[in-house]
Structure 1
Amino acid sequence: MSIYDEKPWLNSYAPGQPAGIVPEHADALSMFRSAVARSPDADAIRYFGTRISYRALDALSDALAAALVDRGFGRGDRVALYLQNVPQFVIGLIATWKAGGVAVSVNPMNRHRELELLLTDSGACVLLCLETLYRDVAAAVVPRTSVRMVITTSELDDRSRDDGRLFANVERVASDGAIPLSDLLAGFRGRAPPEVAFSASDSAFLTYTSGTTGPPKGAMNSHGNFVYNCQVYRDWCGLGAADVVLGLAPLFHITGLVGHIGVALLLGAPLVLTYRFEPAVVLETIRDEHATFAVGAITAFIAMMNHPDARTENLATLRKVFSGGAPIPPAVIKTFREQFGHYIHSVYGLTETTSPSHIVPVGAEAPVDEASGALSVGVPVYGTTVRIVGEDGQDLPAGEAGEIVTTGPQVIAGYWNKPEETAHAIRDGRFHTGDVGYMDQRGWFYIVDRKKDQINAAGYKVWPREVEDVLYEHDAVLEAAVVGAPDPYRGETVKAFISLRPGRSVTPDALILFCKQRLAAYKYPRIVEVLDELPKTVTGKILRRELRAKQSP
């Protein structure tokens, strides 16, 4: 007998599907159209005083999709979304589907080399981005990629209320060589693209993950993967049309795509956006918009909990609270509940599982392992089989740690244009996560170790090799190795060990600034330590494990 109740997998627009079955017509666009038909005048998006209804969102995405098709966008083409948490992200995502395309979500913190890699790998032919990101990054990158159309917009659009804490230094920027989104929406108002249809196996979006082999890989999250896990969130988090979804996680991230946009579209509920995470703004927004559901990194909840403006009344309505992406200290859950009266439920999943594979269901509480003090990440959601396997690939008994291997309707078919990486990670439909964990006798799962070298900084995954490659670009650096160092707020932070070329010198602060200018904000090292020589094997391989051992809690 399972520790949780199996529920039918009820598809909102095709009721009665049995658990674990994804019907052939399960697709994101049909899910959105069902919401429009049910609740055309309900709020779809709320953004600093502006309300966009489902009817209006349908019309705006129609216009953008018609503009794309008019300019030669075809079935299967890719649109890269290089945006913060703004309404234009949702408009662009739905418009991409209406035009028959695949969305590519891009971290707005990505700099030149990272953006170029993703645009080149995905083959995106359209880039929708903020004006400032186009000016500061994309304008220099686009000529070297397959992008043939750039559409720019501003975080200052689609809002009726200013907030100096977020927008004081934001300005409108003229974007030479780009088309303003507002012009396209005005020029194609009232028009719609030709009808398209998707199967469950068609890709809905590419989400890039560093994975376990270094270079970013585009996970091909299908329409079926997406719709399935939207419904997992709905059923396991106890959500309905009366809920108000807080866009706490970045929309480019798999959590934002599924746990925010997808859940809101499935429910026909409002999605509340705040541009980017600023604790005081989010606290006020929860109170003013009566947000009821949020899923995000534990660091976001810690930041809100410790903000001087935090009051019980700020989070009074936020009754369904979930967190994933990084380990959750049990003490934080205890303190959060004491302060605000709400329990934080754990969620575990990866980009390759299209967000959740495990959840602590609403109304349940995760046990804490007595030996390690680790909090359980939950139990496998319905339709999902999770195995713990040893080095030989054989199942391990309860209580014994091994690799987590997941099978289910949310597991991707593979990585974009990377057959070897796909074959390594996904074998006979089984996704080998690279994460080490165990299951207890009652079926609760625990994560006891992360992938060998990957750093988990507040839920953001950092591959050391990418940071090392940047360090090696500095002419004073002889050798470099990057590891995770304990951090009381982020869980882990990025630390670099370097040795210097003979006769050369550089300060740690100078190297930190060097990396900061070339990497996304979560990737650059916060600590740099200079050693006379880095530890190596007899074959000359740098020993990261010895450097990790130098770290103290």
Structure 2
Amino acid sequence: MAEEPAWAPLYPDGLSVDPPQVPESLVAAWRDRAATSPESPCLVYFDTTLTVRRVDEDSDALASHLQDRGVDRGDVVGVQLQNIPQFAIAMLALWKAGATVLILNPMYRGAELRRLIDDSHATGFIGLDREGDEAAATLAGSTVRWRMTTSDLDLQTEHDPRIFADAARVVVEGADDLLTAVRENAGRTPAVAEVRAEDAALLTYTSGTTGPPKGALNTHRNVLSTAAAFNAWQGVGDEDVVLAVAPLFHITGAVATAAATLVSPAALVFLNRLHPEVMLEAFQRHRVSVTVGAITVYNALLALDRGDAAELETVRWLYSGGAPIPPATVDRFQKRFGHYIHNIYGMTETASAVIAVPPGARAPVDAASGTLSIGVPMPGLDARVVGADGSPLRSGEEGELQMRGPQVMPQYLRKPEETAHVLSADGWMSSGDVAIIDEDGWVYLVDRLKDQINASGFKIWPREVEDALYEHSDVYEAAVVGTPDDYRGETVTAYVSLQPGAPTTAAALQEFTKERLAAYKYPREVHIIDELPKTQTGKIKRRDLRDQG
């Protein structure tokens, strides 16, 4: 950045806005950690703790096996696992072998999974054993040459019934077992793959809300730049314990949680699939100090019958990404648990988190829209807001958020037209998000461009209506969409789930918002439903609600 940006004074003490200096690759960064503190705790899974040395040796052994299997520099390998230690070990092993990790949602089945395998030209696949036979049928005839499975029962002995009630080990014909491969190759060191900064570390597919999913290629430099900036932002040190709440098959979990912790001195705690009670207990049990999760995770803690500030006594910072946080939810959580939830923002195309509320600071609320700020750009990132013609706007003006920096991907996989649509020649990436940046550098995310509602010519952002609904104490979750209307073009429609036992009605909620919003903004329809549709990463799926409306 040519001159110090407006947000520099908001930074933690001693932190520069300049891009962090990072090693050539994630492998080099990991090797530095392994040489510095080999006996420190690295991965924790219920009653098991793996040291840095153990993880280094296991990933070396696995990388050697994969190279025997033909994995070479530049190969793409799909990893479809929950938040278990084998995910981190597999990532490290694949990077050591020079491969690109294709992260896959475990909910993907059949054609949905096959579409991504075919598009990525993946040559290998690592998944859970109990889903191995189904995966084998899905992958038959694809580019995948080898398969490997692992059990989430491995590397722990507690078998907590809340997590493992239906779990059982399964032998999958035609697939290697991950931990068996580790044992059989113990002591081996993989051939040096000479991984470079511009090599692809992760291949992550966008959600496809604006069309078919696109594979974002995140390089080693992208991932390390995001990870290093976030670690410096939080001041992560060797006393820290990071709880893996965000799914690792999502860019936030893969980078802001897993990669960032692997190249830091901190320990990383896994809980497999998220269970609110198990998560609450983990804070005290493992002395968790930092975590990142979708707001739905914190809502789940609020919904528990037990839990207060005592359970979170070791926490330094809580961050929430994936979806904007309603101010009322932040206040409710802090009142009960004693901790402020810091907003954080990133995209698949920016290798996860790039804008965040400084630790210990409180995000301001935009007076005009009532929107809670998502924070300020982290080290190395530049941000601006542009108008419809692409010209930069002044502070306080509403337009599309654009970002530039070493965190931004170089391209979508084999999609030059789509790449050119979001990336300018001088490196600015268009986010598709409508935002405001105030004179102090705080960024306010108004909404997605495609989600704007047009009712009788009035433009309405769903976020503003949702935030008004969240001010009602009976509201658990809310989503607002535009539904077709012969008279208005679109009408504002709200879908709401309630707190357990809450007595409010749809009519009462409509009146509640009517008192807080302009006449054209309040929802003409309010539907109370048991649960809002969500992605596995916790984002509410407005599109599904629009479709059913």
- TM-score, structure 2 normalization: 0.81
> Of the candidates 4, 11, 27, which is equivalent to residue 8 of structure 2?
4
Unaligned residue ranges in structure 2 (runs of 5+): 453-461, 467-480, 482-491, 500-532
Q: 1:296 Cα deviation (Å)?
A: 1.0
Q: Which one-letter code corresponds to 1:329 in the other structure?
A: P
Work out the CA distance in 1 between the residues paired with 2:145 and 2:437: 49
> Of the candidates 306, 311, 315, which is equivalent to residue 303 of structure 2?
306
Unaligned residue ranges in structure 1 (runs of 5+): 11-16, 458-463, 465-482, 491-515, 530-543
Encode CA deviations 1:20-47: one digit per residue, 9 max, x unaligned.
2656x43111111111111111111000
Residues 528 and 211 of structure 1, relative CA distance in 2, 3 Å threshold: closer
Percent pairwise identity: 43
Work out the CA distance in 2 between the residues paired with 1:178 and 1:39: 34
Encode CA deviations 1:394-416: one digit per residue, 9 max, x unaligned.
11122221111110110000111
Matched residue, 1:214:
211
Work out the CA distance in 2 between the residues paired with 1:528 and 1:381: 33
Work out the CA distance in 2 between the residues paired with 1:489 and 1:39: 48
> Of the candidates 78, 81, 85, which is equivalent to residue 80 of structure 1?
78
Matched residue, 2:241:
244
Work out the CA distance in 1 between the residues paired with 2:165 and 2:400: 47
Work out the CA distance in 1 between the residues paired with 2:302 and 2:207: 30
**Is 1:372 aligned to 2:369, yes or no?**
yes
> Of the candidates 375, 400, 403, which is equivalent to residue 406 of structure 1?
403
Instruction: Name the SS of the counterpart of 1:267 in structure 2.
Output: coil
Q: Are the aligned partners of 2:236 and 2:266 in contact in 1 as well (CA < 8 Å)? A: no
Residues 173 and 524 of structure 1, relative CA distance in 2, 3 Å threshold: farther
Q: 1:238 Cα deviation (Å)?
A: 2.5
Q: How does 1:357-436 map to 2 (within 5 A)?
A: 357-428=354-425, 429-436=427-434
Instruction: Name the SS of the counterpart of 2:238 in structure 1.
Output: coil
Q: Which one-letter code corresponds to 2:125 in the other structure?
A: L
Q: Which one-letter code corresponds to 1:20 in the other structure?
A: P
Work out the CA distance in 2 between the residues paired with 1:143 and 1:8: 55
Q: Are the aligned partners of 2:8 and 2:17 in contact in 1 as well (CA < 8 Å)? A: no
Residues 253 and 193 of structure 1, relative CA distance in 2, 3 Å threshold: same
**Is 1:437 aligned to 2:441, yes or no?**
no
Q: Are the aligned partners of 2:242 and 2:257 in contact in 1 as well (CA < 8 Å)? A: yes
> Of the candidates 318, 333, 336, which is equivalent to residue 336 of structure 1?
333
Residues 433 and 273 of structure 1, relative CA distance in 2, 3 Å threshold: same
Work out the CA distance in 2 between the residues paired with 1:234 and 1:104: 24
> Of the candidates 47, 53, 56, which is equivalent to residue 54 of structure 2?
56
Q: 1:66 Cα deviation (Å)?
A: 0.4
Work out the CA distance in 1 between the residues paired with 2:128 and 2:498: 29
Instruction: Name the SS of the counterpart of 1:422 in structure 2.
Output: helix
Matched residue, 2:111:
113
Matched residue, 2:525:
none
Instruction: Name the SS of the counterpart of 1:393 in structure 2.
Output: coil
Q: 1:69 Cα deviation (Å)?
A: 0.6
Matched residue, 1:19:
18
Q: 1:49 Cα deviation (Å)?
A: 0.4
Work out the CA distance in 2 between the residues paired with 1:382 and 1:26: 18
* Matched residue count: 477
Q: 1:526 Cα deviation (Å)?
A: 10
Q: How does 1:451-530 map to 2 (within 5 A)?
A: 451-452=449-450, 486-488=495-497
Please give the root-mean-square deviation of Cα atoms over the aligned residues, in Å: 3.1
Q: 1:263 Cα deviation (Å)?
A: 2.1
Residues 365 and 109 of structure 1, relative CA distance in 2, 3 Å threshold: same
Matched residue, 1:263:
260
Residues 79 and 408 of structure 1, relative CA distance in 2, 3 Å threshold: same
Matched residue, 1:295:
292
Q: 1:3 Cα deviation (Å)?
A: 3.8
> Of the candidates 92, 95, 98, which is equivalent to residue 93 of structure 2?
95
Matched residue, 1:283:
280
Structure 1's consecutive aligned runs of 4 or more residues displaced over 3 angstroms after TM superposition are 1-10, 453-457, 483-490, 519-529
Work out the CA distance in 2 between the residues paired with 1:21 and 1:182: 35
Q: 1:387 Cα deviation (Å)?
A: 1.3
Q: Which one-letter code corresponds to 2:246 in the other structure?
A: A
Residues 489 and 54 of structure 1, relative CA distance in 2, 3 Å threshold: farther
Q: Which one-letter code corresponds to 1:80 in the other structure?
A: G
